[in-house]
Structure 1
């Protein structure tokens, strides 16, 4: 495991920002952040609320250029596979889950999950994200069987899956410690933990939208335990459910504190709440400008988190491409399948050519990566761009009936 200060030192010369904001305090903070220096949560909040947009973006992009002077922006091919939609947690923002014994609840057999893994491999996927609800009967044993079955059938696939909430739930169901649960699922084949379930980590907004879920501090404790066992992870954030600006920055601080101790977060992925088919009903949402400002502040604040990923799935491809000018170095995945956020109304769709075009037309060099951000193929010129019309994302406005069992890709055709 890399040490907590692995990215603090600048990998290139100091930046000189061209923008002048009219505020010496803000100019100094932007310059320090652009040069790889640490900014405080109070300074981050000041930047988020008051820094001019273009100056903020320039400083964040200076961080990207210093860290990644090769000008490469990465993408991934993977598939999100849901093993069940049965869940006892009942988060107010979730449109995917069904309560136990609900008529629309379902659980896929291992054979169906393996079939979907095989389709993903055929289309060039290098990773699967296995996600599901907090099923009342699923303990550590269930996940041991699931992960070991996938690894036995497709050893080339990286299992970047579940999140701290599922780990807490499985440990409780099986009556074992968190350390034991993490150790056992790692042995079974779990390679990396997804940032799922972070939503908002500060207590007030978390209790408002997910009162039955573990606290944000507990979520981070699970991540820290996993990092110390050698399992890295990603970190996420859901914007737009009524949290304050200060609470958004507090979310970043909580993540950075753990990163300082473990160095185990590979990337940060903020996304925006989707308003359909859930109990919040879109009463509060984050604007595109709020999202882009948060992206830029995150790049300046997380001097020890290597990568920053844009969420075109929730913000749209236009905002996703704009984020490439706000410090982002990764556009995430084609996502051959995704039903959870789509259940709440995320209808943005992409394909391999679209994602590469978004990167190249932003003046960057596209590269396919693996889970660890190693470059699998760098497309330095358009002649080197891969062309495979089969590699398209899902298009789903509600979760598929019965979880789409037996249905081949693409799961739902665009109308």
Structure 2
């Protein structure tokens, strides 16, 4: 505990020492760290990254930045939750709504395999009419025809939707999906895990407890997942920190989060009116997330929303992973942000920042 008679400078020094020692910080600590100069906060995050990664990859974790070759596949754009921040969804009445056939999936997976891809991020809208047999057939088809591709699929809001539509307990749905071929679960739909915020931006999407429940069950069933945060809209700084705290508590309990990714709200073509925050705010929150989430080993740089250069800078603000080559992305690009990078460009950006670029799989095991 800090003495009430300590000077502000002394309190700040004590908090910095706490961070550098690798100790767990509190919510109050996070609020104080947020006020530090951006470069100073970034350096603290970089030091925490090095503490966490120093023993990885046979002791070379501080020298390596990883990336994955995968593809985002949105199997349908039909959705009935109408999130205000989403420009991707369609209703069944819209002429450009779709549901992918197995043949269309195969074409996308063949293209991914041709460039050495090892994973798909498989997500869709909340389609009100697709039944469980449709999903299980899709998973089985991919697993049997493309056994080298990990299916990283279906966000927690989707699983809550499935449970309602299929009239089936959540645990049973997730277990059946795993048996059919699901390999891991993305952290999509996390937005901000504060229900007051969720009720404003996505009132028909599952609440924060139900989002976390999917992750709890998945981890118990042996499925790893990622965790995310989409910020810079109607939330407060305290809301962001509560979000991080809920993830940290969940990770303490189940240990199934492999990585954390945060990004800023992209406003174009959406119904949500909010002044977008800049790259500086993104870097500040990523740095703070690295320090707060002391039990999640990997942090991805969000170059998809921030652009390649800020994605590169983020490697000095706590990130140890450059995300994905992502040969296809539809959701963020629908909101007006569209960055694309080939494998060679990602490797150059990593190496230019002073690290060795290495490919990985979903479980952060090195390939090559």
SS of equivalent residue, structure 1 residue 303: coil
Q: Distance in 1 between matches of 2:17 and 2:154?
A: 38
CA apart distance, 1:162? 1.2
2:330 equivalent to 1:344? no
Q: Give, in whole Å, the separation in 1 of the partners of 2:206 and 2:156.
A: 9
Residues 266, 337 of structure 2: 8 Å contact kept: yes
By percentage of residues, which structure has more helix?
A: 2
Q: Which residue, 164, 168, 189 being the options, matches 1:197?
A: 189
Match of 1:188 in 2: 180
- Secondary structure of the residue aligned to 1:367 is strand
- 1:27 maps to 13
Name the residue aligned to 1:60.
45
Residue of structure 2 in register with 1:206 after alignment: 198
Q: Give the deviation of 1:331 after TM superposition.
A: 0.6
Tell me how far apart the structure 1 counterparts of residues 17 and 174 of structure 2 sit (CA, whole Å). 41
Q: Is the CA contact 1:26–1:51 (under 8 Å) kept in the aligned structure 2?
A: no
CA deviation string 1:72-99 (max 9, x = no partner): 0001100011111000010001000002
Which residue matches 2:25?
39
Can you give the 5+ residue segments of structure 2 that lack an aligned partner in the other structure?
A: 1-6, 55-59
Worse-superposed segment, 130-139 or 71-80: 130-139
RMSD (Å) for aligned C-alpha atoms: 1.4
Structure 1 residue 67, shift from structure 2 partner: 2.7
- The alpha-carbon deviation at position 341 of structure 1 amounts to 0.8
Alpha-carbon separation, structure 2, partners of 1:343 and 1:270: 18
Q: CA–CA distance in 1 between the matches of 2:297 and 2:131?
A: 33
Distance (Å, rounded) in 1 between the aligned partners of 2:16 and 2:260: 20
Asked if the contact 2:70–2:326 (Cα under 8 Å) also holds between the matched residues in 1, the reply is yes
Relative to the length of structure 2, the TM-score reads: 0.94
Whether contact under 8 Å (2:360, 2:366) holds in the other structure is yes
Match of 1:179 among 171, 174, 179: 171
Q: Contact (CA 8 Å) 1:139, 1:174: kept in 2 or not?
A: yes
- CA distances 1:177-213 after superposition (whole Å, capped 9, x unpaired): 0010010000001110001111111112111110111
User: Residues 202 and 251 of structure 1 are in contact (CA less than 8 Å); yes or no, is this contact kept in structure 2?
Assistant: yes
Once superposed, which parts of structure 1, at least 4 consecutive aligned residues long, lie more than 3 Å away? Answer: none
CA distance in 1, matches of 2:141, 2:20: 45
Contact 2:327–2:340 (Cα < 8 Å) also in 1:
no
Equivalent position SS for 1:376 = coil
Confirm whether residue 141 of structure 1 aligns to residue 126 of structure 2: no
- Deviation, structure 1 residue 22: 7.2
Given the alignment, which residue of 350, 353, 356 partners 1:362? Answer: 353
**Structure 1 alignment gaps of length 5 or more:** 1-20, 378-415
Q: Which residue of 2 aligns with 1:317?
A: 308
Name the counterpart of 1:384: none
Residue 156 of structure 1, aligned match among 139, 145, 148: 148
